[in-house]
Amino acid sequence: MTQTQDEEMKDHPTPSHSITPPIPSTLQNLKEIASIIETGSNSKEVRRISRAVRSTMALRPKLTAPVLSSFIDHVLPPASESHSRLSSYLPNPKLIFISSPR
């Protein structure tokens, strides 16, 4: 018994050539929000800034000290007072000691 051409094609699924875009990281999302805020403040558009605040609230559960530290490093010069002041609120990974069981 021979299979028809349609039946043969059903046996072999065609590969999908569509590429799914990667899910943006939390840090990338923060950078985009900063860009929205900058654009909104330059053009004095309150709606853009409120959109950025809403987006930040959605990201809040994903915000960790390393992500925030990377973001602060990205948007502020390391030698600035703002950078050192904001960084002081984050735990320093070099100072965290892991106690060993005795």
| Domain boundaries along the sequence of the chain | 26-87
Gyration radius of the chain's alpha carbons: 24
pLDDT of 23: 58
User: Is residue 55 scored above 60 in pLDDT?
Assistant: yes
Position 22 confidence tier, pLDDT thresholds 50, 70, 90: low
Q: What is the pTM of this model?
A: 0.60
All residues at 6 or more sequence positions from 27 whose CB lies less than 8 Å from its CB, including other chains: 67, 70, 71, 74
pLDDT of 8: 52
